[in-house]
Structure 1
C-alpha cells in the first residue's frame, strides 16, 4: 500500500518561513553577529593583510656625525622601507632595543666612517632582528641594496672630483641577522601556533560553560544557593586552568621534540607567563558565556574574537605595515602580547626585564575581564 503524498502548498511554506523569522527575532545577538562580522572581517583583511613590508623601524648609532654619515642615514629614510624611529648612544642600547622588539633593524656607523671612505675601506654594521623572517628578509635585501647604491654614488663623486676611480667599492655593509640567523619560518611559526591553539581551546571550552548551565536549567539551582558570583566564576575557571596547562605542556613538548624548535630563554618563566595568558583567556571565555543566550550565540562570539586575533596579533601578518588604527586595534587583543612573549623567550632568550610591558598588559586584561565578568554575572542574577 503506497503512502499518500501531501502536495506542496504555499500556505504551509509561508507559515514555516514566518515561524523561522520569529525565531530569528528572538535571537537578535546571533543575527547582529551574522551581519556585522563579515563586514568587520572584510575591513580588517582589506587593510591588515599585505605581503609588502615597509616602514621597518630602525635605530641608528651614528658615531661619525658628519655630512657623509647623515647622507647615508638619509638614503635609508628616503627608501620608504625603513623608518628612522630612534637614535642610540651605545652598542648596549642598540642590543636592548632589538631585544625588546622596539626596532627591527640597527644601523651602526663607525667613528672613522668619513675618513674610511677616502681610503675605499668604508664599512657600516647592520643588525637585523631575524625573529620574523618576512621582515628580516626585506630588511636584509633592501639594506644591502641601499648601501650598494650609496657606494656607487660615492665612487661616482670621487671620480668627478679626483678624476680617478674604478677601484674597490668605497662602502660595504657588514650585515648580521640576530636570534634566527637562518631565518627559519618554522622557528617563527611554531611558538605562535602554541599561543593560538591555547587561546582557541580554552576560549571555546569556557565560552559554553555558563550557557550550558542555562540551557540545562541548572543555573536556577545555583542561583538559590548561597554561592556568590565571584565563587562561581573562580570555581568555573579552576578546572579549565588544569585543562589549559595540560594542553600547553602537550603542544610545548611536541614543538620541542617533533619540530625541534629550541627554547633559548627561561622555561619556568615561559610556563608562568603562559599560565597568566590562560587565566586571561579563561576570563574572556567566561565573559562571552555571560553575554551569550545560547551555545550557538556563544560559538559565534568566540569566533568573532578568534578570527581578528589571527589577523591583527602578528600571528601571520607583520603588524608594522598595518595602518596605525589597525595596529591600535591589535593592541586590544591579549594574544598580541602573548605572541611577543613566546617569540621573545623562544627565539631571543630574553627575560622578564625585557618582557615586563607585555606581562603588565596581560595582568591588566585579566583584571578587567574578571571584573567585567563578575559585574555581568551579577546583572544576570538580578
Structure 2
C-alpha cells in the first residue's frame, strides 16, 4: 500500500509540474471560468434597452416632438435615424440600420383630441425579444401634454411586425443556429490542422516540399468549405420544411454570405493551430473563442442590451457579423450590397487571418 501511494504521488507531482510548464493550458484553466463569469455577469442582459430606431414625423408639430421625446426617455429605444417617409424607414429596417421605426401621421393633433391611435410602430419582428420590448410601448401613458387628451379607444400605437408577425422563436433561432454550428465545427476542424501534422510527424514531409506557407494555409481550408456548405443545406433545409422558417433572400446571396463566414472561421482556426503546440491546447483555445462568439453574437441575447465594452469585443468576432448577415438575407430578403459593412469585415478578417497564419507557420522543426 505504501509503495502504491508513493507511485501515485510521483505521477501526481509529474502531472502538476507538466501542467505548470504548459502555459496555454494553465491559462485556459484560469481564463475560461473568468471569461464566463464576466460574460454572464456584465455582458449578458435580457433587459432590452437602447434599441436603435428611426422616427418619421410627418406632423412636424410640437405634439410630435413631445411624443418622440416621451418615447426616447423610456430608454427602451435610441433614436438614431430620422426619415421623411415610411418607405425610407422600411428600407433602413431591411438593411439592418435600425430595428424599428415610429411613424407619426400628419393629423397627429386631431388623433389626440379624438382618442384615436397616435401612430404606428413598424418593427423587425425576426428578433422576438426586440419585438416584445417594442410591444411594451404600445400602451405607454401620455402625461407631457398641456391640453386634454381623450381616453384612448384602443391603443396608443399600432404595431406592425415585419418578417415574423406570429413571433415564432424558430424563425429567429434557425438562421442564428447556422452561425453557431459553423463557428463550432469550422474552427474546431482547422484549429488542430498544423498541430496534427506536427504530432503525426508529417511536418518533415511538408518541409521537403516546395509549397509556400500561404499555399499550405489555403489548401488546409478549402476541403472544409464543402463540409460547411453541407451543414448549411441541412440546417436551412430542415428549418424550412420542418419548422416553416421562411427563406426570403436569394439562394445565391445566402451562398456568398455563408462562404465569407466559413472562410473567416477557418482562417481563425488556422491562426489557433499555429499558436498551439498540441491538439489539446488547440481544443482549449477553440473553446476560449467559442464562448464569446456564441454569447456575444446576438444569437441568444440582444446585441443592443450589451454594454459598450462587450459590443466592441463582439464586433471583432466573425460570428457577430454573420448573425446580422444571415438573418438579414434569410428573413428580411436583404442582399450583400445592403449589408456591405458585415460582408466587408468578414472578407477583411479572412485575408488578415491568412496572412497571420502563413507568417506564423515556419517550415522548420525548431
Q: Give your verdict on TM over 0.5.
A: yes
Aligned to 2:250: 266
User: Residue by residue, what CA displacement relative to the aligned partner does 1:208-228 show, whole Å, maximum 9, x if unpaired?
Assistant: 211111111111221122221
Deviation at 1:158, TM superposition (A): 2.5
Q: Is residue 135 of structure 1 aligned with residue 125 of structure 2?
A: no
Alpha-carbon distance in structure 1 between the residues aligned to 2:201 and 2:170: 47
SS of the residue corresponding to residue 18 of structure 2 reads helix
Aligned to 2:76: 81
Kindly report which structure 2 residues correspond to 1:254-333, keeping only aligned pairs within 5 A, or say none: 254-333=238-317
Alpha-carbon distance in structure 2 between the residues aligned to 1:76 and 1:302: 43
Kindly report which structure 2 residues correspond to 1:1-382, keeping only aligned pairs within 5 A, or say none: 6-8=1-3, 11-121=6-116, 123-141=118-136, 143-146=137-140, 149-150=141-142, 157-158=147-148, 169=153, 172-378=156-362
Change beyond 3 A, Cα 1:297–1:115: same
TM-score normalised to the size of structure 2? 0.93
Unaligned runs of 5+ in 1: 1-5, 160-164
Answer whether contact 2:46 2:305 (CA < 8 A) is retained: no
Deviation at 1:198, TM superposition (A): 1.4
Deviating runs (4+, > 6 A) in structure 1?
379-382
Aligned to 1:3: none
Alpha-carbon distance in structure 2 between the residues aligned to 1:341 and 1:122: 35
Unaligned runs of 5+ in 2: none
SS of the residue corresponding to residue 201 of structure 1 reads helix
Alpha-carbon distance in structure 1 between the residues aligned to 2:200 and 2:19: 21
Answer whether contact 2:195 2:278 (CA < 8 A) is retained: yes
Alpha-carbon distance in structure 2 between the residues aligned to 1:76 and 1:312: 27
Change beyond 3 A, Cα 1:18–1:168: closer
User: Residue by residue, what CA displacement relative to the aligned partner does 1:278-326 show, whole Å, maximum 9, x if unpaired?
Assistant: 1111111111111110010000011111111111000100010110110
Answer whether contact 1:76 1:82 (CA < 8 A) is retained: yes
Alpha-carbon distance in structure 1 between the residues aligned to 2:188 and 2:304: 29
Change beyond 3 A, Cα 1:112–1:35: same
Alpha-carbon distance in structure 2 between the residues aligned to 1:12 and 1:378: 40
- Aligned-residue Cα RMSD (Å) equals 2.2
Change beyond 3 A, Cα 1:65–1:32: same
Alpha-carbon distance in structure 2 between the residues aligned to 1:309 and 1:123: 41
User: Residue by residue, what CA displacement relative to the aligned partner does 1:134-161 show, whole Å, maximum 9, x if unpaired?
Assistant: 11011112x2121xx22x776x9428xx
Deviation at 1:170, TM superposition (A): 9.9
Answer whether contact 2:191 2:270 (CA < 8 A) is retained: yes
Alpha-carbon distance in structure 2 between the residues aligned to 1:347 and 1:48: 26
Alpha-carbon distance in structure 2 between the residues aligned to 1:253 and 1:126: 32
Deviation at 1:92, TM superposition (A): 2.4
Deviation at 1:267, TM superposition (A): 0.9
Deviation at 1:47, TM superposition (A): 1.2
Change beyond 3 A, Cα 1:282–1:98: same
Alpha-carbon distance in structure 1 between the residues aligned to 2:364 and 2:303: 38
Alpha-carbon distance in structure 2 between the residues aligned to 1:88 and 1:98: 12
Alpha-carbon distance in structure 1 between the residues aligned to 2:295 and 2:114: 50
Higher CA-based Rg: 1
Answer whether contact 2:175 2:330 (CA < 8 A) is retained: yes
